[in-house]
Amino acid sequence: MAFRINHIHLKAPDPRQTAEWYEKAFAFKIVSDETRVFGDRFIRCQSEDGGMAVNISGARTNERLGAGDAGAHHGLEHFGFDSENLETDIARLESLGARLLEGPIQNPGGARIAFLRAPDDVRVELVERRKITRREAASNRPWLGSTSRRTHGNGGRERVPETPTTSPPAPRRTAASASDSQTSNSEARRANFGFRTSATLRSSSAGRGGGRSGRGRRRRRARSWGFVRRGSCGARRRSGPRPSAAGAGGV
């Protein structure tokens, strides 16, 4: 079984007030509010995306709690939240009573971060992830091509240049290359035609030799009936006996 974080538990002098602060600051959802058998007020919250349970409670019966520590310290030091805009979120949290401790800090080649003091001396972090540029995205995905389409609010489209693909561009066709291509295609067609012609001739010659070919039967029938056909040289001739000169003139 894979281990996953089940929840985060915060201790506060006034659990309800702290829960409502996180509700305003980070859109937490208060799921339940009860008093447990231990004598402490126990409030269950859930993060905005539903992925993390955050419990907030007070001291148990006869339990004495030490002071919080928003500074850097050993042990569980802080927990972080994603931020779309660091400066905007810092100003918003300060208006709710948080205090900026460090930052904004730019990590080389990484995210921008800031640390704040939340209620009850809890140290929280804001993380603004580094935004990937279109050129970087295209370099990681070369199949996108040298250009891509960007959709604007008005529905129009604009072609935006990006990193060219890794494949070399196709060579330009010139008149000489076109002529060579036509010549090679003509030679291929002639070679293919010659192959088919010789195959046809072999088939027809086999049919004439065996006497079973339909073409051979038609030729023998034409010769017996005296029909005119073309010879091997293309001249028209008659298969039957030639008429005499007198017969040709009539009476």
As a three-state string, the secondary structure of 103-134 is EEEECCCCCEEEEEEEHHHEEEEEEECCCCCH
Cβ–Cβ under 8 Å, residues 91 and 98: no
pLDDT at 60 over 80: yes
The confidence score (pLDDT) of residue 184 equals 61
The tens digit of pLDDT for each residue in 200-212 reads 545 555 544 444 5
Residue spans in the chain of domains classed CATH 3.10.180.10: 1-60, 70-136
Q: What does the alpha-carbon distance between residue 125 and residue 101 come to, in Å, rounded to a whole number?
A: 10
Q: What are phi and psi of 240, to 5 degrees?
A: -80, -175
Instruction: List for the chain the helix, strand, coil content (%; round to 5).
Output: 35, 25, 40
3 state SS of 201 = helix
CATH H-level superfamily of 70-136: 2,3-Dihydroxybiphenyl 1,2-Dioxygenase, domain 1 (3.10.180.10)
Please give the class, per CATH, of domain 1-60.
alpha beta
pLDDT at 93 over 70: yes
Q: For residues 230 and 131, which has the higher predicted lDDT (pLDDT)? A: 131
